[in-house]
Every structure is written in structure tokens, then in C-alpha cells.
Structure 1
Amino acid sequence: MDISILAGYVGLIYSTLTITPKLYDGLKDILGPSFEITMNAFIAGIALLLFAFFYRPTKRKSIMAHLGALAVVSIFTLLLVYLTPSISEKEHLLEYAFLGYLALRVFRNAPSRDLAYLYVALTILIVGYLDEFIQKFLPNRAYELRDVVINILSGFLGLVLIMLGKEF
């Protein structure tokens, strides 16, 4: 995969920072009191589809791979249900898990597997931090260290799930 796809995705993340609050406000007006439950169901559905796409259990996988995938999904569920009260934070979980996938695809031809993982980790760290740093300067957003942690954790959880589910 070409790095321009990764750069485009990062650009999409950053370019929607000012739009998403307005989008969510519009959806709240349309959906009314059912906004939260509708969006939670939508995000849960997307998460399940991504899990089904990225993690394909086979008989050749060890029990540890299956337990690892279960642990990652459990942590994602905990984050989605209890630790991310706003819809935009829940959306970031999926957004950064997908970032981990794209970065892994871009850097998988690195000279070594360890170097590829290092590049992916650095990508997740930098993009996750800059996402929040940019928000510090936007009128309708705010910098929160908690969100930096959620962004980075989401990226790493997505990466781990992909590593467990597919051959690299």
C-alpha cells in the first residue's frame, strides 16, 4: 500500500475536526432523544464488522491468539461502553484502530518486522497526539490529554487485533 493512502486518511481525520461537532449537533436535532442509542448501535455495528473483517479465526491459530483477540475485544468494549461518554470519542476508537491497520499495511515491507512495528507505533503516537494538539487551536474543540491516551490506545488495540488475526 502506498504511503499516500495513509497520508490521505490522516488528512481526513484532521480535516473533519471542525465538522464533526456540527454533524453530531445536526444528527441530534434529527434523531432527538434516540440519538445516543442510535449512534451507539451504529458504532457497535461498525466495530463488529471491522472485527469480523480483521480477525478470522482458523484452526491453525493457537489458543493464545484466540484469547488475545478476546482480550482486545473486551478492552474495546470496556472503552466503548464505560470510558468514552461522547459519541465522538467512540468514533475515535474505530478511527484510530483503522489507522493502525493502514500504517501496518504501509510499513509491512520495512527491512524487519520490528522496524515495521516501530514505524506503526510512531505513526499512531504522532497522529494521535497531533489530533488533540490541533484541537487546542480550534474554537469548537479542546485539547484533552485523556483523548490523546484514548487515540493512542485505540490505535494500538487495533494493531494488536490485526496482528493476532492475520498473517503479517
Structure 2
Amino acid sequence: MIGWGWIAAYTLLLYATIPFARTWLNFLRNMLGASFSFWVNVSLALVGVILLAFFWISQTLNRKQWIALIAIGLAVCLFMSEMGIPEERIHLLEYAGLGYLLVWAFRSRYQNILLYHRALGLVLLIGIGDEVIQGALPNRIFDLRDILFNTLGGTAGIMVAASTFPSTEVLDRVEG
């Protein structure tokens, strides 16, 4: 079970990288040139392949869970392909991880749909906190679109968690 210490550490890592992320991304963009977006896509695809391999090796998913996982992955890929700015794609991945971890943490307390609502609410609050910090920095700006992307990424992570965990009330209702 994922503890709240892991959630705090993950959130602090997200927040701690804010002052340096733009500089780091600009360095990579200058180094990679026109292929920067390509390498962001390759990196994100690699993360997806590693996750699929993890679920495949663990052999914990049934057919319906695999279908749900692949459908979510395809929807995320389609959405990401429409995003013009590579950094926005990274937001989705960061907050998908957070959403997934939050469902794990809330599962120890809730066994119904309330756990997903709480996870989504906390993703939203952490995403707002992310943007407030960015708004306070001289080289960054507060952007409502980023809050939307953070929340969409968190939602994708929550959906992956809902589709890959052993039966819950939500999955039982969908299947039954």
C-alpha cells in the first residue's frame, strides 16, 4: 500500500523542480534542436511501454482490465498528439503518476467511488498549488491551461488505477 509519505515526497518533487524546469527544458531544447519534441514523445512512449511491461509481467490483469488500460492509453496518446507544446505532455505524465498514487493511498481508507473523487480533488489542489508557485516566480507564469492539463493527467492516472486494481465497487458496477 502506498503511504502518504510517498504522496508528500512526490508532490514536493513536483514543486521543487518548478524553479529549474524551464532552464532544464531550454537547455534540452537548445541541445536537441528541432528533434526536442520527438525525444519528448519517445521518452513518454518508453514510460508507457515500461508500464505495459510491468502489468504484463505481473499478470494481474484480466481481459476487461487490459481493454480498459489500452483504451485509456490510446485516448491519452491521441490527446497528447494534439498538444503543440512538448512541456504540456510532460504535465500529463507527472500528474498521471500522482493520480495513480493517490488512488493507492485512498484505497486503504475508502472502498467506493468516494476514493476516486477524493483523489481527483487532491490532484486539482496540488495542480493549483503548482501554478500558484509558478505565478510567484519571476521566470514563470500562472496558467489556467496547465491546471487543466494537470487535472487531465491526474484523471488519466486515476482511470488507470481504477481499471487495473482488483475489483472495486466502480469496476463491479461497470461489469455487472
Cα distance in structure 1, aligned partners of 2:113 and 2:148: 23
CA contact (8 A) 1:93 1:150 kept: yes
**1:94-123 deviation line (CA, Å, top 9, x unaligned):** 111100111112111114323322321221
- Residue 167 in 1 paired to residue 170 in 2? no
Alignment CA distance shift 1:54-1:135 (3 Å): farther
Contact 1:54 1:162 in 2 (8 A): no
Q: CA separation in 2, counterparts of 1:59 and 1:125?
A: 28
- 1:20: how far off? 0.9
Match of 1:109 in 2: 108
What residue in structure 2 maps to residue 96 of structure 1?
95
Question: Secondary structure of 1:160's match?
Answer: helix
Distance 1:54 1:101 in 2: 14
Does structure 1 residue 78 correspond to structure 2 residue 67?
no
Aligned to 2:151: 152
Aligned residue pairs total: 165
Deviation at 1:12, TM superposition (A): 0.6
In 1, Cα distance between equivalents of 2:124 and 2:161: 18
Contact 2:92–2:153, Cα closer than 8 Å, also in 1 = yes
Q: Tell me the TM-score normalized by structure 2.
A: 0.82
TM-score normalised to the size of structure 1?
A: 0.85
Partner of 1:49: 50
Does structure 2 conserve the Cα–Cα contact (< 8 Å) formed by 1:54 and 1:166? Answer: no
Question: What is the Cα deviation at residue 31 of structure 1?
Answer: 1.9
Q: Alignment identity in percent?
A: 31
Alpha-carbon distance in 2 for matches of 1:166, 1:17: 31
Comparing 147-156 with 67-76, which one deviates more in the overlay?
67-76
Residues 96 and 155 in structure 1, CA contact (< 8 A), matched pair in contact too: yes
Structure-2 separation of matches of 1:52 and 1:80: 21
Paired residue type of 1:34: S
AA aligned opposite 2:34: P
- Segments of structure 1 that go 5 or more residues without pairing to the other structure are none
